[in-house]
Every structure is written in C-alpha cells, then in structure tokens.
Structure 1
C-alpha cells in the first residue's frame, strides 16, 4: 500500500468517535515498535517527523525505513511533518514525499499566521498534500519548540472559523491545556474541554489536533529514576482525558515524550542489570519491545483506532 494522506482517516475517526495516533519517529527501532503494534491491532497510523528528527536521521533514511514499514504492514500510513516553522521546510518535505505537513505559525500575529499558513496550503494542495495549522500556543519544550508558560495561550474559539476559511487548512491544532515535554502540569491535570466543545460547535465535522498529549507513563518515569535518572514531578495528560477528547472533535493525538521515556527507561535498566553488554542489539531490543507495548495500549485504550485500518 502506498503512503496516504490523513483525509480519509480523519473522516472515519470523526464519525466513529476515535482518534488517530500521530507518533514521532527518529530511528529504526522506534519505527519498528510503532508499526509492529499497529499491524497487530490493524490500526491506521500517522508517523511524524520533526525538523530535528529529519536532521538527526536524514530525510532519505527515514523515508526508506517508512517504506519498509509499508511493505511489512500493508497499513494505511501517513507521513507528517511535525511543527514545520517555515514555507521552505514544508516545501522540502512535500517534495521529499511527505503526504501531510504542519505549518506552525502560532508564534506570529493572527494575520501573519493566516498569511504563512495559506502560502503553505496553496502549495501543498497543488501537490495533493494536506496541511495542519495551529491556533494558540502550547507551553513546554520539545525539539525546536520552546514556549514558556507566560508565552503560552489557549486557542480563542472566536478566531477558528476565520482562520480555517482564509487558510484552507485540512486540520487544526488547538491549545486547551496540553503541553510539550514530560513536565506538563504543576498541579492536577486539567484540559479545557469547554474550549474544545466551542471549537467543535463552530467547526462541525472539522478535524481537531492535540499536541503535547503524552501521558508520561509513571512506570517509565519510575524506571528512569530507579536506574540513575532524575525526573521528579514528571506528569502528563491522563489517558481518560485523551479518550474523552478523541470521542469529541479530536481526530489526531500526538505522542512523542512517551516513546522517548519508554526507550530511555528500558535502555537505562538494561545497562544497570547488564553492565558488561556493549552490543546495541542487546539494549535496543527491550527498548523496541517497550515502545511496541506502549503503542498497543494507546491504540486500543486511548485512541480507540484499533481495527480501523
């Protein structure tokens, strides 16, 4: 099966009350763990590549790994640029075979965000590629995204209709209280479902995206702390909140930090328990297995997209 866009995925997800998992990829083991889980659960997938991942792994290598995943799984897979910050980056990814791009103009004024997003959308649509825009700013740090709490802002529902109409985007990332990284909340986690509901009312049937939606699995945080790490206070989005969002207008939920935590926790554990090991296959195998188990849980118990490929 060739790469697909997210258009059909989102239509089915909206109508079915579930969401598609958008998992960030950086290397072979992460891609294998994600796609093996999706194959076993017969779930559609969005594999996300950030500018940082593209620089680290090389565009060609990542695309060939994803091509291998298509052969091995025969699943509908969309390849998406996560947090593209310029027209040039989006254009390069489109020309390089991506079927979806995000242009993140959330740091700009409303008018400048519309202008940049429309520029990308016009170019992408001409090439058969879909576009995700963003309104509102999530706090936190992840790759090139670094937004302080004071600079973050919720999405204003009064702006969403104008933004979508003037830009022509195919999906919209909104800020309702999630954040990037593993330290999302100082107190009890809270998401602004009232904002999500208002956006849903103003954009009926339109796919909404949640960034910064890792749950920061306590098991992996505890493992990291047990085996020499230092992550006190790491706290993510409760899975029941994500399931609720998926039952509403949210059709795409981004997951990155949980993958990193699962991989790092198991590598740390392996080196403590086997300090004499130096073969990468020995410590990357349990890391890959942990990612696979994590993704299966997300697909079934959080996203609800298992059996929907």
Structure 2
C-alpha cells in the first residue's frame, strides 16, 4: 500500500486521470488526506516541503504514512516536494520516502540536467521515484518567492531532451500556474502544454494547482497532466477555520475541538479535488 510515484502515475496514464498530490503541514492533516483518498477509492500522494519534513521528522512521517496506508487500504506515495538541498534529498531517500523532487528549475539547463541525474542515480538505486522541474513556476512556495520576471514557461524541445538525458519519472511543467494563488484563477497556456504533451511520453505534473479552475482541470488532464499538486487551498482553509475556533473556544477547551473541524474541511476539499481528477470525459 506504501508505493512509488512511478507506480501510481503509470496507472493514472492508463486511465487518463491525475493523482492528487496534497501538501501536508502536520500529522493530523496527513490522516485527513488519506481518509479522503480512501473514501474516493484512489491512490494519493502526500507531499512535504523540506521545512515540513524537518519539522515533523522524516522517519516519523514514513512510519505514520505507511501505517495509515495499510490501515485505510490506500496506495500512498510519500513525496519530498521542491527539494534543492542534496543532503536533505539523500536523507529523505534513506528515511524511506518513496518519491523525491529535485527542483533545479532556477539553474541553467545543463546544470539542471546534471543535478537531476545525480538525484536519479541515487534515488532509483533505492527504488525511489524522481520528479524534476523545467521552466519556472511563479508565486510563493514555503516562503520562497519567485520574481515574476524570473518565470519561464517550459520549452517542449527542452522537455524532450531533459527527460531523455535524466531518466526522471515525472516532469513538472511551467504553463502559467503560480504557487500560492488562491484569490484568483490561473490563465493556463494550453498551447504550450499541448506541445509538451505531444513531444514527451513521461507523466506531466502541474504545480500551483489551487489556482486552476474546475473546468481547466479536465483540460490539463486530457493534455497529459498525471500528478496534480494542491497545497495552498488546504492550508488557507485550515488556518481560517482554526483561527475562528481558537478565537471562540475557551482556553481550557480540548485542542481537538479546534483541530477536528479544520480537518473535516481539509478532507472535504481533498475528496472534491480527487473526484475532479478521476472523472474525466
């Protein structure tokens, strides 16, 4: 039940769907995400940033996620997202993560290839999947802000060469989405996405998924997106509900009375997203 990114994306490709990849910030949120996947009878990807992985503890996350996967009978991937630090990537692989993302998107093209190959060689030897990014997705991710002037859409020809030379299991593409966008909807460049999909066979990944409209979700999945990242929508709604309840409840109220309603909202959002990712015409 505790599986790799390569395995779940192969199934998604066969069924023309996407697997939801949801950022968790604590152990409670992790359980809500896996419960939602169980209700929807689909695999799920639990993502952590480098910061969350170090805050919770990688071995703790591995133990909890593998235990919950078995308990709920769900295929679950534990994925380290947007990792740039080699030592942290190696630590995640050694701790039992089943997928890692090396983010060399800010590097020159050849340096991105070289850095990605190093991660692929180490991770694949341990049976761990690797995602990489080509082009630059805008917005803010785990406190890191990408200047709008630095945003670069993925070039289809570069994508084909990059995949061929690195042997990655999934490619994150820059097609106009932004990390942290939740107050408006993204204007996706479908021409670029369609061109990338025509040029490569590898599963494609969309980052900044919170800003993608429900209608556009179907379009991007039909154009090769097999991993769909959602983070900000969960975090914002968790924080809103928690803020409301901590402001209302007395200090000696059990903390679960503040946390459980926030978890229920997270679970509801995840179930809704998964239903969109798998029900493609």
Q: Shared fold (TM-score greater than 0.5)?
A: yes
Select which of 187, 190, 195 maps to 2:187: 190
Return 167-176 or 51-60, whichever deviates more. 51-60
Residue in 1 that maps onto 2:69: 70
> Aligned equivalents of 1:254 and 1:156: distance in 2?
21
Going from structure 1 to structure 2, the CA distance change for 1:247 and 1:277 (only over 3 Å counts) comes to farther
Q: How many residues align?
A: 280
Under a length normalisation based on structure 1, what TM-score does the superposition of the two structures give? 0.86
Provide the residue aligned with 2:85 in structure 1.
86
Q: How does 1:234-253 map onto structure 2 within 5 Å? A: 236-253=211-228
SS in structure 2 at match of 1:146: strand
Aligned twin of 2:136: 137
Q: Distance in 1 between matches of 2:115 and 2:277?
A: 31
Q: Tell whether the 8 Å contact from 2:3 to 2:75 is kept in structure 1 after alignment.
A: yes
Matched with 2:270 is 295
CA distance in 1, matches of 2:155, 2:7: 27
Instruction: Give the CA deviation at 1:20.
Output: 0.2
Q: Which of the numbers 269, 274, 281 marks the counterpart of 2:256?
A: 281
What CA distance in whole angstroms lies between the structure 2 residues aligned with 1:183 and 1:41?
A: 24
Equivalent residue in structure 1 for 2:207, among 206, 211, 223: 211
SS of the aligned residue for 1:160 comes to helix
* Counterpart for residue 233 of structure 2: 258
Tell me which stretches of 4 or more aligned residues in structure 1 moved more than 2 Å.
Answer: 182-185, 271-279
> Deviation of residue 305 (structure 1)?
6.7
Q: Conserved in 2, the CA contact under 8 Å of 1:212 and 1:255?
A: yes
C-alpha distance in 1, partners of 2:214/2:54?
Answer: 31
Name the SS of the counterpart of 1:260 in structure 2. helix
Q: Is the 8 A contact 1:43 1:305 kept in 2?
A: no
Instruction: Give the TM-score taking structure 2 as reference length.
Output: 0.94
Superposed, which structure 2 residues align to 1:40-119 within 5 Å?
40-119=39-118
Q: What CA deviation, in whole Å up to 9, does each residue of 1:157-194 have, x standing for no partner?
A: 12011101111111100000111113575xx6310111
Show structure 2 runs of 5+ residues with no match. Answer: none
The question of whether the paired residues in 2 share the 8 Å contact of 1:52 and 1:144 is answered with no
Q: Retained in 2: the 8 A contact 1:20–1:305?
A: no
Structure-1 separation of matches of 2:271 and 2:191:
29
Distance in 2 separating the partners of 1:146 and 1:59: 25
Q: In the aligned structure 1, how far is the partner of 2:57 from the partner of 2:145?
A: 23
Superimposed CA distance per residue, residues 252-305 of structure 1 (whole angstroms, 9 cap, x where no aligned partner): 0111101101211211222344355642111001001111111110111x2117
Contact preservation (8 Å) 1:17, 1:248: no
Residue range with higher mean Cα deviation, 245-254 or 268-277? 268-277
Report Cα offsets for 1:136-159 as digits up to 9, x if no partner: 111111215321111111111120
- Counterpart CA distance in 2 for 1:278 and 1:180 is 35
Q: Tell me how far apart the structure 1 counterparts of residues 237 and 252 of structure 2 sit (CA, whole Å).
A: 20
Shift of 1:213: 0.8
